[in-house]
Amino acid sequence: MYENAVGYMKECATKYMRPIVTRKYDSSWDMFDYHTYPGGAWRIHMLRKRLGEEAFWSAVQTYIERFANKTVQTSDFQNCLEEASGFNLTRFFDEWVYGKGYPKLKGQYEYTSNRVKITLTQTQVDEAAQVPLFGFELDVEVVTKAGKKVKTVVSFNQHDTVTAIVDLPENDKPSQVCVDPEGKVLFTLDIPSVDRDILIETAKSSESIVNRIWAYGELISEGSRPALKAVKGLLKEEPYHGVRVEAAGKLAELNSVYSIEILSELLDNEQDPLAIAPIASACTIVDGRLRSSLLRLLEREALPYRAHAAALTALGAQRNPDDLEYLLSVAQDENKIGQHGIIRGGALKALGMHRSEETFKYLLSRVGYNKEPMRSRGFAVQGLSNSAQWQNDVLKKQAIEELENLIRDPNQSVRVEAVEALIELKVKSCCNSVEATRSMYSHDDHSWLDRKLRQLQDNDTNDQQTAQKQAIEKLQSRIKSLEDKLTLQEALAKAK
């Protein structure tokens, strides 16, 4: 369910936010998006938790029997749920099913005289975007140092802020804080004011995986050396691979000297096949320690296909000239194609991340029809696009010419990547050429093509966004350089 929530929230943040039930779609493919499936699954899960197992499954049975072989509407399911439970679910369906978005909670933590006070505020409300104030109940649990669990329930109704008061036994203190320990509600949570020791114990001992992930996130966001030192120790004992994966992403996002050291060590120690690929994918920051860890990972025998591909791509992002020969050798090795061309695809994408002229020329020679395994060709196009942005004008023009040929490729995935590449390279002059390929797409894909044409025509806005992104990258680079110098000075001071 956590992965469902992440997928749904990512789509809301990066693509679009729509009601779960709607009659308006840009394309019929949108009916199979992260809103319908992961987002819809969360609404069903919340209803099951609200009604209880007996009432929920009784309603489902009634729904199946009553409407077998018939056309149904969402309201039919709602009626069955209300009949079985006796609840009025109008507000739930209006907000969670017919409305947009989900609660985003910002919290404030206080502890005085055996009393924990947590104030929670919904911050997502946006009348213009039709994102509502959600009504729901939320469990707040505090585990004391003596191991006693003390729980209270807060209810969002007509106000955006509620306060949870948890009175602890005398002579006892809070050890862990868990908001929604049973995972009943879909929301995001940010409480930066929780004491570090409580976050450490929550990350270490909470029975809720989601709360452990939250605690790790708050510790890493704090960014202090004591907090990161605690994270480093906790990750060595963390039993669930999914928590380690989420921590890796947060460590990369922080991008400090110490967080990168911890990320490097985390990759070195990871053995779970499900975790290696996403942790390797987080190691794209240019750093000697990460590069060394990636090289050690690539020396392992029988590395899973996706982990192998992710490690290659991250190694390419290191942009080290010494890795060029190795990356080219993997891209040319017929024994390292991998299932569905996954390893070859990772190698081709890595060459694009490397940015060198030699890798650019190799990719230019490999994007044509039948040059690479079918499922790897899209990655070759991605690699060419990434590399072309760093080449001189003559080479960039060669890439654009090839991409304009590829928008008519027999393979639709290649055509799609070619269009995306032309947008990335801001080739406004190719709008008519892209429009001319409309007949090569199904009617369901025409709305996608229309969006891409608008992006090509609106590249002035994209230029501003790119300039802002580059400015941020430069600032991050300068901050990292200053952190490196500070770390060196601290080490020299200790040596004296």
The DSSP annotation for 304-329 comes to -HHHHHHHHHHHHHT--GGGHHHHHH
Domain range summary for the chain, segments of one domain joined by +? 2-97, 103-211, 223-318, 329-457, 464-496
SS (H, E, C) 98-151: CCCCCCEEEEEEEEECCEEEEEEEECCCECCCCECCCCEEEEEEEEECCCCEEE
Q: What single DSSP character describes residue 25?
A: -
Which tokens is 335 given? 């024994």
Give the largest Cα separation in the chain, rounded.
82
* Amino acid, single-letter form, for residue 149: K
Question: The pTM is what?
Answer: 0.84
Q: Within 10 Å of residue 215's Cβ, how many Cβ atoms?
A: 28
* CATH fold label, 103-211: Immunoglobulin-like (2.60.40)
Distance CA 367, CA 364 (A): 6
Strands 136-144 and 115-122: unpaired
| CA gap 434, 285 in Å, rounded | 34
The confidence score (pLDDT) of residue 51 equals 95
CA dist., res. 289 & res. 272, Å (int) = 21
Alpha-carbon span 53 to 184, nearest angstrom: 13
Asked, colleague to colleague, whether 2-97 and 103-211 share their fold, the answer is: no
Q: First and final CA of the chain: distance in angstroms? A: 52
Q: Which fold has domain 2-97?
A: Neutral Protease; domain 2 (1.10.390)
For 249, residues 6+ apart whose C-beta sits below 8 A from its C-beta are 278, 282
Q: Are 419 and 400 in contact (CB under 8 A)?
A: no
**Percent helix, strand and coil across the chain, each to the nearest 5:** 60, 10, 25
3-state secondary structure of 364: helix
Q: Which two tokens stand for residue 408?
A: 């008519």
d(CA 395, CA 361): 9
How many helices (H) and strands (E) the chain has is answered by 22, 7
pLDDT in tens, the chain (496 residues): 888 999 999 999 988 899 999 888 777 777 888 899 999 999 999 999 999 999 999 999 999 999 999 999 999 999 999 999 999 999 999 999 999 999 999 999 999 888 999 999 999 988 888 899 999 999 999 999 999 999 999 999 888 999 999 999 988 999 999 999 999 999 999 998 899 999 999 999 999 999 999 999 999 999 999 999 999 999 999 999 999 999 999 999 999 999 999 999 999 999 999 999 999 999 999 999 999 999 999 999 989 999 999 999 999 999 999 999 999 999 999 988 888 889 999 999 999 999 999 999 999 999 999 899 998 999 999 999 999 999 999 999 999 999 999 999 999 999 999 999 999 999 999 999 999 999 999 988 898 899 899 999 886 554 555 556 666 766 766 676 676 667 667 666 766 6
Of the candidates 55, 111, 54, the one whose C-alpha atom is nearest the C-alpha of residue 82 is 55
Predicted local distance difference test score (pLDDT) of residue 415? 95
pLDDT at 96: 94
Strand partners for 164: 118
CA 462 to chain centre: 22
For residue 207, what are the CA distances in angstroms to 153, 180, 271, 469? 19, 12, 23, 39
Question: Sign of the C-alpha dihedral, residues 356, 357, 362, 363?
Answer: positive
* Residue listed under structure tokens 């990972």: 297
Confidence at residue 487, expressed as pLDDT on a 0 to 100 scale: 67
| Other Cβ atoms within 10 Å of 467 Cβ, number | 10
Burial of residue 18 (number of CB atoms within 10 Å: 0-12, 13-18, 19+): buried
Helix, coil or strand: residue 374? helix
Range 102-106, long-range pairs (CB < 8 A, 24+ positions):
102/8, 102/9, 102/12, 102/134, 102/186, 102/187, 102/188, 103/134, 103/136, 103/156, 103/185, 103/186, 103/187, 103/188, 104/187, 104/188, 104/190, 105/179, 105/187, 105/188, 105/189, 105/190, 106/190, 106/191
CA distance 374 to 414: 9
At residue 412, what are phi and psi to the nearest 5 degrees?
-65, -40
